[in-house]
Structure 1
Amino acid sequence: MDFCKEVRKQTEYYWEASLKHPFVQGIADGTLELEKFKFYMLQDAYYLKHYMKLLAMLAAKANEDEDVAYFLETANFIREAELELHRSTFKELHVTPEEIRNFQPAPAAYNYVSHMYQAFYTGSIADAYAAILPCPWLYQEIGVALRKATPGVKLYQQWIDLYASTEMEETIEKQKEMMNRFAQMPGNNERELTAHFKRSCYYEWQFWEMSWTCQDWQQEVYMNEHATIL
């Protein structure tokens, strides 16, 4: 069973919606407002810190030495590459220490992280991995799709270059192989694995929307009340 091919096919709508989202397209053509990108980077740093913790927790949950080593290496890569990009970007975007101290995760970011922890604590290593795989896989595909983009904005070009790299492509191939192997382990429920994967694809799309609207908790309450009235 090639689990990854099947779930990729089933979640095509979310992948297309992410690639076509005005936030992503704004990075590609350089028209995205820097304030929105700043909001996104703060939320993404929050997400990545928890993603890194989950990788370390998966290393503790893994039985194979190779998997333990890989989870720890990937966590270290995120710390050195992605979070370093965030730190340098924060300087260019003039993110202040006060903004970092007062940071609050937006609803979509909080819900996404909570979903990944839920998959880890209530399921198998396959469940947890199905919940965290869509993020790097989607970003890598977006990076490849935007390889020829010329945003004309240094920060946006750096973002594209990171996810369009051949190293990232090799990493994702390795991760898909791991996911297929985990999915074949005895006792796994393919329906549950698929559900975890699909929810994460949905939250990936929501992450762009959250950043595009600079979502906050007050805004979320208003939208829910308005939907109820309608």
Structure 2
Amino acid sequence: MAAPYGNSFALWRQGAGKHWQDYTRHSFVQGLSDGTLPRTAFLYYLIQDYIFLRHFSRAWALAIVKSETLDEMKTAASTVDALINHEMQLHVSACAKEGISEQALFDADEHPANLAYTRYVMDAGVSGDFLDLMAALAPCVFGYAEIGARLSDEKADDTAYGDWIATYASAEYQDVCKAIGQMLDGAVARRLGETPETSLRWAHLQTRFTTATRLEVNFWQMGLDYV
């Protein structure tokens, strides 16, 4: 399942071991699939994810600064556009149906698990280079694509979360992730060579990816703990 999103992600995914399974098969995710996730947990997650996406957008904007090629800049810029003008608006629309305004989303308190994750990603970009930032961003980008694709096949017909699943299973989102994966492979090869896993930097980048994956697990758990 990892192959469509590129070799670099596939290697990082494998290197994360059980943490990747803890993330992509979390009980929160299972609740989305079978419809058993409490609505209050989902709404709290949406509010926190709106906050997360604001910071995620900033991190992708930083990727433009850290880029070395026009292709890297274009991919980062188009991702910022997709996040701010499309994905965040899906959260706004879903919350509006529950009587939660966009201003209320913007003003919501940030949960410590959210703060820990977003600031970790930003620190990776500020203190490191383009690859440090990509390794920290990758679990969210590709993890949601993997989850969406799997749940699209497994979900219960009557799950209340079909729209969420369809968003990340959509051809549009999957194509974005494939493009990012292709860009990432080029960026890794350009900086570390054709066998990057033999580079002295690879273990450090793997740690970046695995740490961000563990923080994704905490993000799901944050939603469940709100119930």
Query: Which bin holds the TM-score, normalised by the shorter protein?
Result: 0.7 to 0.9
Give 1:106 deviation, angstroms: 0.9
2-structure distance, mates of 1:47, 1:193: 22
| Mapped pair 1:150 → 2:162 | no
- Per the normalisation by structure 2, the TM-score is 0.86
2-structure distance, mates of 1:31, 1:99: 26
| Mapped pair 1:29 → 2:29 | no
User: Residue type matched to 2:113 in 1?
Assistant: A
Change (3 A) 1:19 1:63: closer
1-structure distance, mates of 2:212, 2:201: 17
Asked whether the 8 Å contact 2:33–2:159 carries over to 1, the reply is no
1-structure distance, mates of 2:183, 2:102: 39
User: Residue type matched to 1:141 in 2?
Assistant: E
2-structure distance, mates of 1:110, 1:159: 23
Secondary structure at the aligned position of 1:94 is classed as coil
Determine the structure 1 residue equivalent to 2:186: 181
Determine the structure 1 residue equivalent to 2:98: 93
Change (3 A) 1:170 1:28: same
| Mapped pair 1:4 → 2:34 | no
Task: Look at both structures and tell me which one has the larger radius of gyration over its CA atoms.
Answer: 1
1-structure distance, mates of 2:152, 2:44: 24
| Mapped pair 1:134 → 2:139 | yes
| Mapped pair 1:125 → 2:130 | yes
Q: Which has the higher contact order (CA 8 A, sep 6+)?
A: 2
Secondary structure at the aligned position of 2:152 is classed as coil
Which blocks of at least 5 consecutive residues in structure 2 are unaligned? 1-6, 193-198
- Give the alignment of 1:30-179 within 5 angstroms: 30-96=35-101, 99-100=104-105, 102-148=107-153, 149-150=155-156, 152-154=158-160, 156-179=161-184
User: Residue type matched to 2:40 in 1?
Assistant: E
| Mapped pair 1:17 → 2:29 | no
Determine the structure 1 residue equivalent to 2:212: 200
Bigger mean CA deviation after superposition, 175-184 or 42-51: 175-184
Asked whether the 8 Å contact 2:42–2:223 carries over to 1, the reply is yes
Give 1:160 deviation, angstroms: 0.3
User: Residue type matched to 2:75 in 1?
Assistant: Y
| Stretches of 4+ aligned residues off by more than 3 angstroms | 96-102
2-structure distance, mates of 1:213, 1:92: 23
Asked whether the 8 Å contact 1:55–1:71 carries over to 2, the reply is yes
Give 1:200 deviation, angstroms: 0.8
2-structure distance, mates of 1:169, 1:75: 16
Aligned length: 214
Identity, in percent, stands at 25
Asked whether the 8 Å contact 2:61–2:76 carries over to 1, the reply is yes
Which blocks of at least 5 consecutive residues in structure 1 are unaligned? 216-230
Secondary structure at the aligned position of 1:31 is classed as coil
RMSD (Å), alpha carbons: 2.2
Asked whether the 8 Å contact 1:133–1:197 carries over to 2, the reply is yes
